[in-house]
Amino acid sequence: MRCKCLLLVFLLAATPCFSQGILNAIAGCDFAGTWYGGSPDVPFPYYHLTINPIGLERYSVIAQYASETQSAGYLHNTVWTGEFSKTGRHSYTGMVFSMWQWDPSSSLLPAGVDATLPEMDLFHINSVEVLDHDTLRFTYDKAAVYFSFMYPMSLKEKPPDPGFVATFDPLLVEVYHRMPTSFPAAFH
């Protein structure tokens, strides 16, 4: 009888811990890793995405755009980097940014933009959702572009007005898939 009581106490005590672990995995509390994907509505562009934990419920993100940019009037661009943090039980929000260098000879160069200075693009991550263990969905609601970006500029206190602002309606959605952690059996 004593063993049955101890087993019952153990099970009652362990159930919340076990169920919380399952909920966290499903809710995306452990989505650090390497991913690939992009917009599900177009077959490209693709991104390589890495998510790393950097603190209690905070993550850094690095995304590399896998396409050429010269046809859009740019010479170079940096990777997209940023952070997001937990805002609710199963929700995350944050920002990513990248810097771009215009081609001074491009016909796409906006009027009044100094091509010798970089452009800084910011995207607000409205939400990050875990669809399953191997699939993430990022939803973006806003973007801002700072043409002719000059250092130093404080974006934390009162940033200057950007040269371009977009509010996505419908929201901009990207879907990412987890990279496998083992080599495919077909290639052994």
Tokens of 45: 């562009």
Per the CB < 8 A criterion, the answer to whether 74 and 100 are in contact is yes
Helices and strands in the chain, H and E counts: 1, 9
pTM, two decimal places: 0.76
Per the CB < 8 A criterion, the answer to whether 36 and 179 are in contact is yes
Per the CB < 8 A criterion, the answer to whether 59 and 51 are in contact is yes
Closest-CA residue to 113 (of 144, 77, 145, 148): 148
The proportion of the chain whose per-residue pLDDT surpasses 90, expressed as a percent, equals: 51
The proportion of the chain whose per-residue pLDDT surpasses 70, expressed as a percent, equals: 77
Measured CA to CA, the distance from residue 77 to residue 51 in angstroms comes to 20
The three-state DSSP-derived secondary structure of 108-124 is CCCCCCCCCCCEEEEEE
Tokens of 26: 């499903």
Tokens of 144: 């801002």
pLDDT digits (tens, 9 = 90+) for 111-129: 999 999 999 999 999 998 8
Q: What is the pLDDT of residue 23?
A: 34
Count CA atoms within 13 Å of residue 158 on its CB side.
0
Q: List C-alpha distances in Å: 56 to 40, 59, 60, 86, 87.
A: 31, 9, 12, 9, 12
pLDDT digits (tens, 9 = 90+) for 149-171: 887 666 667 667 788 999 999 99
Per the CB < 8 A criterion, the answer to whether 91 and 126 are in contact is no
Listed by start position, the domains of the chain span 1-30, 31-180
- The domain made up of 31-180 has a fold known as Lipocalin (2.40.128)
